[in-house]
Amino acid sequence: QVQLVESGGGLVQAGGSLRLSCAASGRTFSNYYMGWFRQAPGKEREAVARISGSGGWKLYADSVKGRFTISRDNAKNTVYLQMNSLNPEDTAVYYCAASQGPGTSAFKYWGQGTQVTVSS
C-alpha cells in the first residue's frame, strides 16, 4: 500500500507561484500513475494533472494548461506540481493520489491534502 503526504501549500497573491510536493512511502513508487486533484468549496473534485510511472506521459486539465507542470522524481519517491500564474479560481485543497492506471476513477490512494489560497 502506498502512503502519500502533500506539502507546499499556502497563501500567495494572484500572479504568483507555488510548488507542491507529494512524498510517497510505499514500495514500487515507479509502478504508479500519480495525479494531482483539487476541490474548492461547493465544487466537484477536479483532476488537475496526471503523470505515468516513467514520467513520459502527462495530462492536464484545460483550466491549468500552460500554467501548471507535473513532474516526478522516482529516486526520491516524490511527485511535484509547479503552479505558475495563479489566480483566485485556483484556490482549493490540493490532493495527491496514486493509481495503477491513468483514468480518474482508478486513483484510489490519497494524501491528506494541502490548502492553496490565492488572493487578489
Tens digit of each residue's pLDDT (9 = 90 or more) over 53-110: 999 999 999 999 999 999 999 999 999 999 999 999 999 999 999 999 889 889 999 9
Residue 2: phi, psi to the nearest 5?
Answer: -95, 135
Helix (H, G, I), strand (E, B) or coil at 65: coil
What is the model's pLDDT at position 54? Answer: 95
User: Which residues have C-beta within 8 Å of that of residue 67, sequence separation ≥ 6?
Assistant: 83, 84, 85, 86
CA distance 20 to 111: 12
- Please give the grid coordinates belonging to residue 102: 491513468
Q: What is the CA radius of gyration of the chain?
A: 13
